[in-house]
Structure 1
Amino acid sequence: MQLHPLNIYNTLSRKKEPFEPINPPNVGMYVCGPTVYGDAHLGHARAAIVFDVVHRYLKFLGYKVRYVRNITDVGHLEADADEGEDKIAKKAKLEQLEPMEVSQFYADSYHKDMELLNTLKPHIEPRATGHIPEQIKLVENILKEGLAYEVNGSVYFDVLKYNDKKRYGRLSGRVVEELMSGSRELDGQSEKRNPVDFALWKKASPEHLMKWDSPWSLGFPGWHLECTAMSSKYLGDHFDIHGGGMDLMFPHHECEIAQGNACSHTDPAKYWMHNNMITINGQKMGKSLGNFITLQELFAGDHKVLEEAYSPMTVRYFILTAHYRSTLDFSNQALQAARKGYKKLINGYRIAKSMTYLEDPEVEKDEKQIGQVRNSLEAMFRAMNDDFNSAQAIGHLFNILKKINAAYTGQLAASVFGKEMFDEMIRTYVRFIEEVLGLVEEKPEEQEELLRVVLKMYARAKQARDYDKVDEIRNDLKRMGILVKDMKNKIDWAYEE
Structure 2
Amino acid sequence: MIPPLRVYNTLSRQKEVFEPLAPPHVGMYVCGPTVYSDVHLGNVRTFLSFDIIYRYLKQQGYKVRYVRNITDVGHLLGETNEGEDRISQKARLENLEPMEVVQRYTNGFHEVMQQFNILPPSIEPAATGHIVEQIGLTQRLLEQGLAYEVNGSVYFDVSKYNQEHNYGKLSGRNVEELIANTRELEGQEIKRNPADFALWKKAQPEHIMRWPSPWGPGFPGWHLECTVMSTKYLGERFDIHGGGMDLKFPHHECEIAQSVGSCGVDPAKYWVHTNMVTINGQKMSKSLGNSILPSQFITGNHPLLDQPYSPMVLRFFMLQSHYASTLDISMEALQAAKKGYLKLMNGMRVLRNLEYSEQEGIEFNEKGAQQVKGLCDNCYRSMNDDFNTAQTIGHLFNLVKKINALQTGQLSTAELGREVFDQMKQTFISFTEEVLGLREELDLRPENLLEALLEVYRQAKEQKDYERVDQIRASLRNSGIVVKDMKQGIDWAYEE
Listed as ranges, the matches of 1:244-255 within 5 Å are 244-255=243-254
Displacement, 1:308? 1.4
**Max Rg structure:** 2
User: In structure 1, what is the Cα distance between the partners aligned to 2:249 and 2:81?
Assistant: 14
| Residue deviations 1:125-156 (CA, integer Å, cap 9, x gap) | 00011110010000001111100000000000
Letter matched to residue 83 of structure 2 = G
Query: Structure 1 stretch 305-314 or stretch 71-80: which is displaced more?
Result: 71-80
Equivalent position SS for 1:8: strand
Letter matched to residue 292 of structure 1 = S
User: In structure 1, what is the Cα distance between the partners aligned to 2:136 and 2:187?
Assistant: 30
User: In structure 1, what is the Cα distance between the partners aligned to 2:82 and 2:330?
Assistant: 36
Equivalent position SS for 1:164: coil
| Residue deviations 1:418-467 (CA, integer Å, cap 9, x gap) | 111011101110111111000000014677x969x97xx8xxx9xxxx9x
- Residue 14 (structure 1) aligned with residue 13 (structure 2): yes
Equivalent residue, structure 1, for 2:213: 214
Equivalent position SS for 2:287: helix
User: In structure 2, what is the Cα distance between the partners aligned to 1:59 and 1:121?
Assistant: 14
Equivalent residue, structure 2, for 1:151: 150
User: In structure 1, what is the Cα distance between the partners aligned to 2:300 and 2:185?
Assistant: 47
Displacement, 1:260? 0.4
> What is the TM-score with the length of structure 2 in the denominator?
0.89
Partners of 1:315 and 1:335 within 8 A in 2: yes
Displacement, 1:88? 1.2
Listed as ranges, the matches of 1:183-194 within 5 Å are 183-184=182-183, 190-194=189-193
Equivalent position SS for 1:89: helix
User: In structure 1, what is the Cα distance between the partners aligned to 2:379 and 2:60?
Assistant: 13
Equivalent residue, structure 1, for 2:203: 204
| Residue deviations 1:7-60 (CA, integer Å, cap 9, x gap) | 000000000001000010000000011101111110111011100000000001
| Residue deviations 1:460-479 (CA, integer Å, cap 9, x gap) | x9xxxx9xxxxxxxxxxxxx
Equivalent residue, structure 2, for 1:480: none
Listed as ranges, the matches of 1:218-257 within 5 Å are 218-257=217-256
Equivalent residue, structure 1, for 2:107: 108
Partners of 2:82 and 2:198 within 8 A in 1: no
Equivalent residue, structure 1, for 2:278: 279
Partners of 1:239 and 1:269 within 8 A in 2: yes
Partners of 1:186 and 1:194 within 8 A in 2: no
- Residue 313 (structure 1) aligned with residue 312 (structure 2): yes
Displacement, 1:80? 4.9
Letter matched to residue 27 of structure 2 = G
Displacement, 1:71? 0.7
User: In structure 2, what is the Cα distance between the partners aligned to 1:125 and 1:10?
Assistant: 24
Equivalent position SS for 2:163: helix
Q: 1:186 to 1:209 in 2, by over 3 A?
A: closer
Q: What is the percent sequence identity of the aligned residues?
A: 61
Displacement, 1:367? 1.4
| Residue deviations 1:216-260 (CA, integer Å, cap 9, x gap) | 120100000000000000000000000100000000000000000
Listed as ranges, the matches of 1:56-455 within 5 Å are 56-184=55-183, 190-444=189-443
Partners of 1:78 and 1:85 within 8 A in 2: yes
User: In structure 1, what is the Cα distance between the partners aligned to 2:271 and 2:333?
Assistant: 29
Partners of 2:356 and 2:413 within 8 A in 1: yes
| Residue deviations 1:340-387 (CA, integer Å, cap 9, x gap) | 111100111112111111111211111121121111112221110010
User: In structure 2, what is the Cα distance between the partners aligned to 1:93 and 1:171?
Assistant: 36
User: In structure 2, what is the Cα distance between the partners aligned to 1:188 and 1:16?
Assistant: 41
Letter matched to residue 393 of structure 1 = T
User: In structure 1, what is the Cα distance between the partners aligned to 2:187 and 2:122?
Assistant: 46
| Residue deviations 1:184-237 (CA, integer Å, cap 9, x gap) | 468886211001100000001111111110101201000000000000000000
Equivalent residue, structure 1, for 2:493: none
Equivalent position SS for 1:432: helix
Equivalent position SS for 1:288: coil
Partners of 1:323 and 1:391 within 8 A in 2: yes
User: In structure 2, what is the Cα distance between the partners aligned to 1:80 and 1:208?
Assistant: 21
Q: 1:87 to 1:9 in 2, by over 3 A?
A: same
Equivalent position SS for 1:120: coil
User: In structure 2, what is the Cα distance between the partners aligned to 1:310 and 1:78?
Assistant: 34
Letter matched to residue 95 of structure 2 = Q
User: In structure 2, what is the Cα distance between the partners aligned to 1:25 and 1:268?
Assistant: 19
Alpha-carbon RMSD across the aligned residues, in angstroms, is 2.2
Displacement, 1:86? 1.5
Q: Which runs of 5+ in 1 are unaligned?
A: 467-497
Partners of 2:73 and 2:128 within 8 A in 1: yes
Equivalent position SS for 2:340: helix
| Residue deviations 1:148-168 (CA, integer Å, cap 9, x gap) | 000000000000110011100
Letter matched to residue 205 of structure 1 = Q
Displacement, 1:82? 2.8
Q: 1:3 to 1:430 in 2, by over 3 A?
A: same
Partners of 2:80 and 2:250 within 8 A in 1: no
Partners of 2:52 and 2:436 within 8 A in 1: yes
User: In structure 2, what is the Cα distance between the partners aligned to 1:191 and 1:154?
Assistant: 10
Partners of 1:69 and 1:125 within 8 A in 2: yes
Partners of 2:231 and 2:237 within 8 A in 1: yes
User: In structure 2, what is the Cα distance between the partners aligned to 1:157 and 1:134?
Assistant: 17
Partners of 2:80 and 2:195 within 8 A in 1: no
Displacement, 1:78? 2.8
Displacement, 1:95? 1.6
| Residue deviations 1:385-431 (CA, integer Å, cap 9, x gap) | 01000001110111111111110121211111011101110111011
Displacement, 1:333? 1.4
User: In structure 1, what is the Cα distance between the partners aligned to 2:237 and 2:148?
Assistant: 25
| Residue deviations 1:293-352 (CA, integer Å, cap 9, x gap) | 111111111222111111000110011000011000011111111111111001111121
Listed as ranges, the matches of 1:475-486 within 5 Å are none
Displacement, 1:178? 1.6
Equivalent position SS for 2:246: helix
Letter matched to residue 130 of structure 2 = H
User: In structure 2, what is the Cα distance between the partners aligned to 1:280 and 1:71?
Assistant: 27
Q: 1:299 to 1:81 in 2, by over 3 A?
A: farther
Letter matched to residue 89 of structure 1 = S
Letter matched to residue 408 of structure 1 = Q
Q: Which runs of 5+ in 2 are unaligned?
A: 466-496
User: In structure 2, what is the Cα distance between the partners aligned to 1:3 and 1:127?
Assistant: 40
Query: Structure 1 stretch 31-40 or stretch 368-377: which is displaced more?
Result: 368-377
